C-alpha cells in the first residue's frame, strides 16, 4: 500500500519494554518499514481540553535497538491521527477506565484498536464468565467462607487477581492446606477485594496453556506454553517454554464462539487462553503471542495486523 498514515501507539514507556520480545515494538517497526509516521503516546500525554480529546504526540526516532536518536513533541487533537493502537499493560484500574472514556470521544475517522468501550467492558478475567459452558468451575467473590467451601469441593484451585496479567500473583491452593484463612484474608485484603478462584486444571502440565491469537474474528495462530518442572505457571516470565501445538475440535469451537462475540464488542485483536479444552482468560488490553508464533512457525504476523489497520483506515477515509 502506497498511502502513508499517521499512527499513534498508546503504550508504556519504551525503557520498560523488552527489546526484541515486545509485540508493540514489533508493530512499530512494521509501520515504520511501510513509511507511516509513528507517534508514541503515554498515559500522561492524554487529556481533554477545549471540547475534544487531546494528546502530546511524541515523534521519536530510534535505532534498531530502540536507542533514542532524536525526537519532536507536539500537542494535537487525537482525531488528527489516522489510527490509534492502545497497547497499555494492566493493571486494569480507574486510570485505565478514564483513558478509555476519553478515547471513546475521539470521533471522526480515526480507527482505534481495540475499541475503547470494548476494552472497558472486557475485563480479561471476567469477560470469559459469559461463556459458562467453556470455563472451569469458577467463583468470583471476596467472601472467605465461600472461597473455603469452593476449595473443599474442588480439591485444588487457582486464585487470580482480577486486574493483573501474565501469571502475576497467581496462587495455587490445595484442600490439604491446614490453615487457608490467612491466605484468603491476604488475597481479598480482609474481604474488601474481589478475587477469582478456579478449579486447577492439571492438564496444564501435559498440553500446556494454549494461546490463540485472533484478529477480526479469525484465528491468526496459536502455540502452547508449558510450565517448567515443579511450577504451575506457564508464562515465560516464570520459566514456561513455548512450543508448537494443535487445536482440538472443541478448542476450535471455543475460539469461533468467543472471537465472534469479541468482534461484536469492538475487540478486533485478542489472545484466547485455554487449558485442557477449557477457556481460562481472554487477553484484550495488550495482546501478545505474535512473536512466539513467528519464531515457532516462521511467520510474520505483524504484517497481517498492520494490513488490517491500513484496511480500516482506508474504509474510514472512503466514508
* Catalytic choice (87, 211, 304, 312): 211
3-state SS class at 295? helix
Encode pLDDT of 211-247 as tens digits: 999 999 999 999 999 999 888 888 887 889 999 999 9
Q: 160 catalytic, yes or no? A: yes
Contact 83, 312 (CB under 8 A): yes
- Can you give the pLDDT at residue 62? 76
3-state SS class at 176? coil
Encode pLDDT of 130-184 as tens digits: 999 999 999 999 999 999 999 999 999 999 999 876 556 789 999 999 899 999 9
Q: 168 catalytic, yes or no? A: no
Q: 261 catalytic, yes or no? A: no
- Does residue 250 have a pLDDT over 80? yes
Task: Tell me the CA distances in angstroms from 64 to 35, 41, 115, 308, one per residue in order.
Answer: 15, 20, 30, 24
Q: 125 catalytic, yes or no? A: yes
What class, spelled out in words, does domain 6-115 have in CATH? alpha beta
- Does residue 107 have a pLDDT over 90? no
* Catalytic choice (6, 114, 283, 310): 283
Q: Are strands 156-161 and 278-283 parallel, antiparallel or unpaired?
A: unpaired
Domains of the chain by residue range: 6-115, 137-200, 203-283
- Does residue 1 have a pLDDT over 80? no
Encode pLDDT of 17-50 as tens digits: 887 889 999 999 999 999 999 999 999 999 999 8
Q: 179 catalytic, yes or no? A: no
* φ, ψ at 108 (rounded to 5°): 65, -150
Contact 107, 80 (CB under 8 A): no
* Catalytic choice (6, 87, 210, 233): 233
Cell 494454549, located at residue: 210
Quick one: angle between helices 290-297 and 301-317, nearest 10?
Answer: 130
Q: Cell numbers at residue 118, please?
A: 470494548
What's domain 203-283's architecture? 2-Layer Sandwich (3.30)
Encode pLDDT of 254-309 as tens digits: 999 999 999 999 999 999 999 999 999 999 999 999 999 999 999 999 999 999 99
Contact 95, 103 (CB under 8 A): no
Mean pLDDT computed over every residue of the chain:
93
Share of the chain above pLDDT 90, in %: 82
Q: pTM, whole model, 2 decimals?
A: 0.93
Q: 281 catalytic, yes or no? A: yes
Residue 179, Cβ neighbours under 10 Å: how many? 6
Q: 273 catalytic, yes or no? A: yes
Cell 467472601, located at residue: 143
Q: 74 catalytic, yes or no? A: no
Contact 208, 226 (CB under 8 A): yes
- Can you give the pLDDT at residue 155? 97
What class, spelled out in words, does domain 137-200 have in CATH? alpha beta
Question: Mean pLDDT, to the nearest integer, of 183-189?
Answer: 96
Question: In the sheet where 209-215 sits, what is the strand order?
Answer: 241-243, 218-226, 209-215, 269-275, 278-283
Amino acid at each position: 500500500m502506497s498511502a502513508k498514515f499517521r499512527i499513534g501507539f498508546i503504550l508504556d514507556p519504551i525503557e520498560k519494554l523488552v527489546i526484541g520480545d515486545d509485540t508493540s515494538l514489533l508493530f512499530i517497526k512494521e509501520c515504520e518499514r511501510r513509511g507511516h509516521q509513528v507517534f508514541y503516546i503515554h498515559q500522561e500525554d492524554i487529556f481533554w481540553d477545549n471540547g475534544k480529546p487531546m494528546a502530546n504526540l511524541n515523534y521519536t526516532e530510534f535505532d534498531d535497538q530502540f536507542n533514542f536518536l532524536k525526537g519532536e513533541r507536539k500537542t494535537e487533537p487525537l482525531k488528527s491521527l489516522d489510527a490509534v493502537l492502545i497497547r497499555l499493560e494492566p493493571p486494569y484500574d480507574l486510570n485505565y477506565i478514564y483513558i478509555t472514556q476519553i478515547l471513546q470521544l475521539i470521533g471522526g475517522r480515526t480507527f482505534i484498536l481495540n475499541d475503547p468501550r470494548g476494552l472497558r467492558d472486557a475485563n480479561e478475567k471476567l469477560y470469559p464468565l459469559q461463556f459458562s459452558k467453556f470455563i472451569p468451575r469458577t467463583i468470583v467473590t471476596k467472601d472467605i467462607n465461600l472461597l473455603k467451601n469452593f476449595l473443599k469441593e474442588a480439591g485444588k484451585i487457582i486464585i487470580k487477581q482480577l486486574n493483573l496479567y501474565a501469571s502475576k500473583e497467581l496462587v495455587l491452593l490445595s484442600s490439604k492446606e491446614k490453615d487457608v484463612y490467612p491466605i484468603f484474608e491476604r488475597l481479598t485484603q480482609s474481604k474488601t477485594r474481589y478475587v477469582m478462584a478456579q478449579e486447577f486444571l492439571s492438564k496444564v502440565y501435559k498440553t500446556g496453556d494454549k494461546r490463540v491469537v485472533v484478529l477480526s474474528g479469525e484465528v491468526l495462530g496459536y502455540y502452547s506454553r508449558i510450565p517448567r518442572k515443579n511450577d504451575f505457571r506457564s508464562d515465560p516470565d516464570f520459566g514456561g517454554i513455548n512450543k508448537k501445538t494443535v487445536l482440538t475440535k472443541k478448542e476450535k469451537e471455543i475460539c469461533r464462539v468467543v472471537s465472534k462475540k469479541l468482534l461484536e464488542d469492538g475487540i478486533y485483536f485478542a489472545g484466547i487462553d485455554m487449558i485442557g479444552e477449557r477457556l481460562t482468560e481472554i487477553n484484550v488490553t495488550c495482546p501478545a503471542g505474535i512473536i512466539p508464533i513467528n519464531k515457532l512457525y516462521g511467520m510474520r504476523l505483524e504484517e497481517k495486523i498492520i494490513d488490517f489497520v491500513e484496511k480500516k483506515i482506508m474504509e474510514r477515509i472512503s466514508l
